[in-house]
């Protein structure tokens, strides 16, 4: 992502602020989403039940 935004900034397609926002969003997705997935797939089963409650579905 850093390389892609650097090219965009060099070509004048992206501003520095936009590039920083894209890199920041990529960092959040790489760091936070895997942790969230691990919480939802907790071995004790509570993560799956919590995900179903938040989605409004019932457990079969």
pLDDT in tens, 10-50: 999 999 999 999 999 999 999 999 998 888 887 765 655 66
pLDDT confidence of 57, banded at 50, 70, 90? low
Helix, strand, coil % in the chain, rounded to nearest 5: 75, 0, 25
Q: What is the domain partition of the chain in residue ranges?
A: 2-54
Alpha-carbon distance of 59 to 52, in angstroms, equals 7
Alpha-carbon distance of 5 to 22, in angstroms, equals 8
Closest CA to 23 of 6, 39, 10: 6
Q: At what angle do helices 16-40 and 2-11 cross, to 10 degrees?
A: 160
Query: What's the whole-model pTM score?
Result: 0.60
């Amino acid at each position: 992502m850093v390389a892609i935004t650097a090219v965009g900034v060099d070509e004048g397609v992206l501003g520095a602020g936009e590039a920083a926002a894209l890199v920041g969003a990529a960092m959040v997705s790489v760091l936070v989403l895997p942790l969230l997935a691990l919480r939802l797939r907790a071995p004790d089963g509570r993560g799956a039940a919590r995900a179903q409650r938040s989605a409004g579905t019932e457990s079969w």
